C-alpha cells in the first residue's frame, strides 16, 4: 500500500486510509505481578514456544467480490457504474475447534467468496456468520471441517500492563504467515478515529496491511486482541498499531455462535463531556479525570440508578473511564440486563451506584420510513430518530430529528436542496423537527438545519 508523497499528515491504515484524531489512553484494572527480565540471558530468551502454541490457529483470509464502480472518464459519456472484480487479503484467528474464525469486518466487507488458508496450507471455503462494523470484527464459519482444528484462547481478563511483551501474527502484504514482536504501548486507547465505541490496545509490534484480522498474543500464548489498524505516514508500520481488545472480540463471537444476526450493545443512558484541566479546577478535583454527566435519558438505566447531571463518572466495574468512547466500550461489552458498578464523584465525594444496563429504546428498523410526496423535499425518504436507530447508524443516541434514507437521484430533494443519505434534519426555520410529517409541503425559502458526518450546516429549499 502506498500513500502519496504529499500526504505528510499521519493516516490511519485499515484496508485503506482513515482519518486520525487525537487519541486517549486510560488506565484499567490490570495485574501487578509482571517481572522485568533480570539478566542478559533472560532478555535473549526465544519466543519460539509461544509461537509454536499460537501460530497454528492463525490463518490467512482472502476474499473476492464484485462491486459497482463508476469510472470518471466514461461517466462523461453517460455510462453508469460497471461491475468490477475486487479482492482483499488479511488474516484471521481460529477461536473454536469446529472452524469458527475471527477476522476484521473491513477484510470481508462487500465480498462474496471467502477462502481461508491454515498454517499447514490446508484451504477451506468460509461463510460469514456475523459481521459487526462497529467493532470491525467479523466471524466466519469454515465449511467442510471434519476434525478439531487448533485454536487460540480468548483471554478477556484484562491483566495486561503497558510494557508487556506481545507478538503480532498475521499475513502482512500477503507474503504468508509472519511473526513480529513488541510491547503494549497503551491500553484503553480511545478517540482514535476507528470507532466511537472502541477502546483499543496500542502496540509497537510491526503491523502492516494484510495483518488486519490477525492475532495479538501475550506471553501465555493467549489471544488478547485482533490487529485492526496502524497509524502511519507511509502506509507501512511506524510502530503505532491498534488491536480490538479480547473483551470486544468475545462479545461478537458469543453473539455469532449464539445465533444472533447483530451485536446488541446495551447503554447506560447517560451522555457526558471529558473533564478538562479547567473543569477539574472548577469541580474541585485533584486532577482531570472522568466524564461529567451532561444528559441523562429519562427512565433509562442511569436515571433509575440515580445518576445526576454534574456527576463525574470515573470508572465502570473498576476500569477507569475518561471519555464517552471509553464509557460506551465498557458498557457495550456487557449483556443487556447485566448490572455494572458505576464509580462517581458527586460534589467532590466518591460513591458507587449499581446500574442495570439495557437495550437502547426505540426501533432500529427502517421499514417505516416515509417518502415525501410533495413540497421542497419531494423524493426524500425520511424517518424519525430514536436512540436505537441513531446508534445503529453510528450516530448519537441522544440526537433528535429526522434522518434521511434514500434520495431519488432526479428528485428535487437531491437537485434543488442537496440532501444526501444519512443527513439528519434537526430544524426547519429554527423550529425543531421530530416527525417526518413536518417536512411535507415545505415551501421555497425554507431553511433546514442539517447535520452531516458530524458537521452542521444550513440547506435552503430554492
Residue with cell 430544524: 427
The residue that leads in pLDDT, 85 or 229, is: 229
User: pLDDT tens, 173-215?
Assistant: 888 899 999 999 999 888 666 665 568 999 999 988 889 999 9
pLDDT of residue 87: 76
User: pLDDT tens, 446-457?
Assistant: 999 999 887 899
Say yes or no to pLDDT of 277 above 50: yes
User: pLDDT tens, 239-255?
Assistant: 789 999 999 999 999 99
pLDDT of residue 124: 96
- Considering the chain, what percentage of its residues have pLDDT values greater than 90? 59
pLDDT band at 79 (very low <50, low <70, confident <90, very high): low
pLDDT of residue 384: 92
Say yes or no to pLDDT of 153 above 60: yes
pLDDT of residue 411: 85
pLDDT of residue 342: 97
Q: Output the CA–CA distances (angstroms, integers) from residue 436 to 252, 376, 402, in the order listed.
A: 34, 13, 6
Pick the CATH number of 370-460 from 2.30.42.10, 2.40.10.220, 1.10.1370.40, 2.60.120.280: 2.30.42.10
Region 61-87 average pLDDT: 71
pLDDT of residue 8: 30
Region 257-267 average pLDDT: 92
User: pLDDT tens, 330-389?
Assistant: 999 999 999 999 999 998 899 999 999 999 999 888 777 889 998 889 989 999 999 998
Domain positions in the chain: 12-32+154-257, 55-67+82-142, 270-356, 370-460
> Cα-Cα-Cα-Cα dihedral of 273, 277, 282, 284, to 10°?
100
Average of per-residue pLDDT values in the chain: 86
Rounded Cα–Cα distance for residues 157 and 159 (Å): 6
CATH topology of domain 55-67+82-142: Thrombin, subunit H (2.40.10)
Region 276-302 average pLDDT: 92
- Considering the chain, what percentage of its residues have pLDDT values greater than 70? 84
Domains 55-67+82-142 and 270-356 share a fold: no
CATH topology of domain 12-32+154-257: Thrombin, subunit H (2.40.10)
The class level of CATH for 270-356 reads mainly beta
Nearest to 156 by CA among 103, 240, 95: 95
Rounded Cα–Cα distance for residues 390 and 366 (Å): 11
pLDDT of residue 19: 38
What residues are annotated to the active site? 106, 136, 212
Say yes or no to pLDDT of 77 above 70: no
pLDDT of residue 1: 37
Q: Provide the whole-model pTM.
A: 0.81
Region 136-158 average pLDDT: 94
Amino acid at each position: 500500500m502506498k500513500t502519496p508523497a504529499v500526504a505528510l499528515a499521519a493516516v490511519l491504515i485499515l484496508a485503506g486510509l482513515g482519518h486520525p484524531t487525537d487519541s486517549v489512553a486510560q488506565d484499567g484494572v490490570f495485574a501487578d505481578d509482571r517481572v522485568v527480565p533480570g539478566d542478559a540471558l533472560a532478555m535473549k530468551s526465544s519466543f519460539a514456544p509461544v509461537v509454536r502454541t499460537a501460530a497454528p490457529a492463525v490463518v490467512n483470509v482472502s476474499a473476492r467480490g464484485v462491486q459497482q464502480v463508476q469510472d470518471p472518464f466514461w461517466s462523461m459519456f453517460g455510462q453508469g457504474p460497471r461491475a468490477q472484480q475486487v479482492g482483499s487479503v488479511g488474516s484471521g484467528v481460529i477461536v473454536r475447534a469446529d472452524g469458527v474464525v475471527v477476522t476484521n469486518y473491513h477484510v470481508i466487507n462487500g465480498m462474496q467468496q471467502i477462502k481461508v488458508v491454515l498454517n499447514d496450507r490446508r484451504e477451506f471455503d468460509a461463510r460469514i456468520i456475523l459481521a459487526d462494523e462497529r467493532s470491525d470484527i467479523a466471524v466466519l464459519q469454515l465449511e467442510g471441517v471434519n476434525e478439531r482444528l487448533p485454536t487460540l484462547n480468548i483471554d478477556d481478563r484484562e491483566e495486561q500492563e503497558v510494557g508487556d511483551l506481545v507478538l503480532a501474527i498475521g499475513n502482512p502484504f500477503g507474503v504468508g504467515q509472519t511473526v513480529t514482536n513488541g510491547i503494549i504501548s497503551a491500553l484503553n486507547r480511545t478517540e482514535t478515529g476507528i470507532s466511537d465505541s472502541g477502546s483499543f490496545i496500542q502496540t509497537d509490534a510491526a503491523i502492516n496491511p494484510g495483518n488486519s484480522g490477525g492475532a495479538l498474543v501475550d506471553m501465555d500464548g493467549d489471544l488478547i486482541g485482533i490487529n485492526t489498524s496502524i497509524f502511519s505516514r507511509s502506509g507501512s508500520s511506524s510502530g503505532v498499531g491498534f488491536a480490538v481488545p479480547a473483551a470486544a472480540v468475545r462479545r461478537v463471537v458469543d453473539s455469532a455462535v449464539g445465533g444472533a444476526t447483530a451485536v446488541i450493545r446495551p447503554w447506560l443512558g447517560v451522555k457526558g463531556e471529558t473533564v478538562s484541566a479547567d473543569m477539574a479546577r472548577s469541580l474541585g478535583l485533584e486532577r482531570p479525570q472522568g466524564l461529567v454527566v451532561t444528559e441523562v435519558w429519562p427512565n433509562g438505566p442511569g436515571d433509575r440508578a440515580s445518576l445526576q447531571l454534574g456527576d463525574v463518572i470515573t470508572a465502570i466495574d473498576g476500569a477507569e473511564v475518561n471519555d464517552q468512547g471509553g464509557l460506551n466500550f465498557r458498557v457495550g461489552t456487557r449483556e443487556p440486563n447485566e448490572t455494572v458498578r458505576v464509580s462517581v464523584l458527586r460534589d467532590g465525594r466518591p460513591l458507587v451506584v449499581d446500574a442495570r444496563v439495557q437495550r437502547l429504546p426505540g426501533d432500529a428498523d427502517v421499514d417505516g420510513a416515509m417518502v415525501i410526496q410533495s413540497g421542497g423535499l419531494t423524493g426524500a425518504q425520511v424517518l424519525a430518530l430514536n436512540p436505537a436507530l441513531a446508534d445503529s447508524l453510528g450516530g448519537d443516541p441522544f440526537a433528535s430529528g429526522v434522518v434521511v434514507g434514500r434520495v431519488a437521484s432526479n428528485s428535487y430533494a437531491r437537485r434543488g436542496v442537496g440532501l444526501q443519505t444519512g443527513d439528519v434534519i434537526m430544524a426547519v426555520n429554527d423550529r425543531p423537527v421530530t416527525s417526518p410529517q413536518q417536512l411535507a409541503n415545505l415551501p421555497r425559502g425554507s431553511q433546514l438545519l442539517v447535520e452531516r458526518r458530524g458537521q452542521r450546516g444550513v440547506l435552503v429549499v430554492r
